[in-house]
Structure 1
């Protein structure tokens, strides 16, 4: 019999959109833009020390930008967007904005890492601007006061686990409505793109260059669609398909990619059975992982202050599989969890504690901004049966991740978006950088974005399961292509394929 869980929540009957909302075509972006009052575009920023060691060591300064909550009502309430600036040394330098992904990721210090991947010549040519988008981090942050930290988890292994998951996500959505109220519908990607354009104007730039990864590629593509004449050198690293963006299509695309990455990890672990004791073949290692999830479903695994059940164990795997550099880390984490499940003394190390704390703890680790942005951008199907059918249909080919990548989310209980979803179709030049094995933004999605951006070029890193390349995963071919584009604005003559150094 399935055990009772410690977290008890009530399913909340919030009204939400029953299906995907209609989309406005590209011509919608050609309509005159609502003028932003001078009090926003001419504001003087108060630059000061960031009081973030990583930024302070890089010589950065930080400031708060005031923007409207609702651009359709610019005389109404305002919020702040926190930005950082690492100044370039070239007198003719430009401005490069950025986004680190998520959505909901804090990005004030993101350009410190990206800047290290730039050649000195390129680095000198830009003021690098980090940003916590609206609703996130040091900006006017969404705080739904969730009892857990993360709005995505696995549905579990059976009907009881799925029913519990539905109740949890209904409760999370209700908490956001109760705590954020009227501001919630305006924490969207389109409004963040408008915030970026206000920042462009304040910094005195005619155009912006941009580096975004993961969700940041969607934000960059939306900016290009809304402000094509203000987009300069745009690099979209680990790109999302804008037509599949949201908690359904984008999540579903992660399933096969993560199962494939789990195969590679299992092969790696199988050659080290003397250390990890999960078996000497891919099948044995996979079987050990599946058994561990089933054990967690029957009885949560106590590890330090955490009780890890079948909802959260796949999240640990998901987090660890986004880079081959993390195989050893992930193997150690699963070994620790297995030891705890066997009743042996075990404590999470720093990395596992960070993952579990981010996912399972309440404030201050609440990542409700992620759901606020995604649910505010795109409506999701409301009927729980839609998700249950998708989970069951995927289990045969995605035995570990079907319940995670097809699960219901708080978006099923969200109010309809206030604006149509952005359709990205334009001829703004851009560089798309993508690995074929990406576990977060699947390769096919980057190809789709490439087709949507008719003047783009694609740089493919072949046979590497890595998410976010430039600034995270050293590859001379990719780094050279990106630096060349940022240096002189020259895209490759055609699409490129890079391989591991």
Structure 2
């Protein structure tokens, strides 16, 4: 047996971790938070493939209309599932029983999760598993989104979606209180102005760490069964999904995934290389970079984009922010300071603060620079000339539209996936439990990226998380048969370096690059009923390569540059 770090889930440890009684201060900190981060607990992952229990392997998929499943979920206390139900028209759904813990499938309890199917227009012998990425890396609605953008796929495939373990319709639902923090990395929805994330005074650090502690406490207190927390990993999920393949009677299937869904696809394909025959990965997350390192790299990279690309561009526009790059950067720094000192009030007990400005800059290159320019001018006017009109402009720009998008996302996913997002991110990497180390690393990062650093984020939350493990298997990517990898050359979220890394490790992979294109995601995805969140796609050339590969099995002879539309 090979020793791989993974959590032992021990409820008394949870109680110890989250205790607020005096006398539990960490020995290696001076933050006086009256508790200590958890110690690491490990068990072994099996080196061989876990055997599927007979009762699990012998189950039959009881397909029924997904609208019916949604209404049943609504009757059982999930109103968002009921609202989503009409959007699932045309899909069939089934409940899958799976071992809660694949390290001991025979001994442990059983978990359940939901899958969906959009049948091919004519009887098909091929199955295509889909994931659009984002928190959750899967949804019952995915087959409709992909089929609307790629109607050709339905001539060849049954399209499959899933609400995986850890999400609301599963028996392992994870739940955290999103209002505790406004940290965007956590997908927090609370106020983000209680302290400046660039302030590393003892008082500010105590407050930020306290929010992280309270976030984890809410996850444990609100999750129906805290013992499920350590099982929310891709190592477990890909075994759930391969069980689905077996229950469908499919010797092999194909995979189409984007963004975070590329991580799941890679784990599935390298774990079961003989069972995934065609794989398309759009905007590939770099598997060689940890979550912590990935965020740190993005902070620094986006700071450079602001300094070297956006600021010169804005200087040439001759706005109130100045006519030179240095003047623009100084003006943006002043804007941040002003927003920190005097956050702009927004409806529903929210504000727009200096921390929120960093969130805007963190997303640079996700939209045209003109959009960011208009938002910055709105903020500057809101501070310099406060009035009912400027307040309304700020409210519509920075509160109402994001709120509507957030509500729409919760409907599409049948509830918030913040609990899943927290459990998965804290479970997959070797996060430090030393608070001094966490804070010192953050301080250095904030100094390098003062306009794009977003806060302690998962580094702090996962320091208090009661589970620790490496979270992936050991198989190499060179076991994967073939893949088409898609990337916008200037993607700010999943840099093209990730696709290049994967390209170098899969012998029969091809990289399709949309030349010079900023923005995240290459392929189109279409939300039903005109709901927000549709992706228009960046290149018809890349779309054509994808269809040719998935439908006809033709892979390009070499890596392919594509021009943007």
Aligned mate of 1:229, from 258, 267, 274:
274
Alpha carbons 1:95, 1:205 under 8 Å: kept: yes
- The TM-score with structure 2 as length reference comes to 0.74
Residues 344-493 of structure 1 mapped to structure 2, 5 A cutoff: 344-345=387-388, 346-347=391-392, 348-349=395-396, 352-355=399-402, 365=416, 367-395=418-446, 397-404=448-455, 408-417=459-468, 420-423=471-474, 425-427=476-478, 428=480, 429-471=482-524, 472=535, 473-493=537-557
CA contact (8 A) 1:391 1:406 kept: no
1:251 is aligned, of 269, 287, 295, to 295
Task: Report the CA distance between 1:358 and its aligned residue.
Answer: 8.1
* Uncovered stretches (5+) of structure 2, i.e. residues with no partner: 1-31, 71-82, 187-191, 525-534
Alpha-carbon deviation of 1:193?
0.8
Q: Call closer, same or farther: CA 1:388–1:426 in 2, change over 3 Å.
A: same
Cα RMSD after superposing both structures: 3.5
Q: Cα distance 1:331–1:113, how it changes in 2: closer, same or farther (>3 A)?
A: farther
SS in 1 for 2:490: coil
Q: Is the 8 A contact 2:489 2:515 kept in 1?
A: yes
> Structure 1 residues 56, 170: closer, same or farther in 2, change over 3 A?
closer
Question: Once the 2 structures are TM-superposed, how far is the Cα of residue 470 of structure 1 from its aligned partner?
Answer: 0.9
2:200 equivalent among 118, 139, 159: 159
Distance 1:286 1:385 in 2: 31
Q: Distance in 2 between matches of 1:311 and 1:38?
A: 52
Query: Contact 1:103–1:369 at 8 Å: present in 2 too?
Result: yes
Distance 1:164 1:203, change over 3 A: same
CA distance in 1, matches of 2:86, 2:523: 19
The corresponding residue for 1:307 is: 351
Call closer, same or farther: CA 1:213–1:424 in 2, change over 3 Å: farther
Matches within 5 A, 1:17-56: 17=40, 31-39=48-56, 42-50=59-67, 56=87
| Segment of structure 1 superposing worse, 140-149 or 49-58 | 49-58
Instruction: Say yes or no: does 1:171 pair with 2:194.
Output: no
Q: Deviation of residue 134 (structure 1)? A: 1.4
How far residue 216 of structure 1 moved from its aligned partner, in angstroms, is 0.9
Residue 253 of structure 1, CA deviation: 2.5
Aligned to 2:167: 136
Look up the match of 1:323.
Answer: 366
Tell me what 2:251 maps to.
Answer: 206
Partner of 1:145: 177
- Unaligned runs of 5+ residues in structure 1 are 1-8
Between 475-484 and 402-411, the greater mean CA deviation after superposition: 402-411
Matched, 1:298 2:341: yes
Q: What is the CA-CA distance between 1:478 and the residue it aligns to?
A: 1.0
- Give a deviation string over 1:282-336, Cα, whole Å, max 9, x none: 5555444433322233343321221233444323443x436335x5554444444
439-448 or 417-426, larger mean C-alpha shift: 417-426
User: Whose Rg is larger?
Assistant: 2
Q: Is the 8 A contact 1:92 1:125 kept in 2?
A: yes
1:187 is matched with which residue?
232
Is the contact made by 1:136 and 1:142 (CA closer than 8 Å) also made in structure 2?
yes
Matched with 1:3 is none
Closer, same or farther in 2 for the Cα pair 1:106/1:206, shift >3 Å?
closer
Deviations 1:50-73 (A, max 9, x none): 366697477323333232322224
Q: Deviations over 1:223-272 (max 9, x none)?
A: 112111111111111111212132x1221222244335546555665666
Kindly state the Cα deviation for residue 455 of structure 1 after the two structures are TM-superposed. Answer: 2.8
Give the equivalent residue in structure 2 for 1:107: 139
CA 1:322–1:75 in 2, change beyond 3 Å: closer, same or farther?
farther
User: Greater RCO between the two (CA within 8 Å, min separation 6)?
Assistant: 1
Structure 1 residue 218 displacement after superposition: 0.8
Distance 1:295 1:461, change over 3 A: same
CA 1:351–1:147 in structure 2 vs 1: closer, same or farther (change >3 Å)?
closer
Matched residue SS, 1:167: helix
Q: Is the 8 A contact 1:261 1:465 kept in 2?
A: no
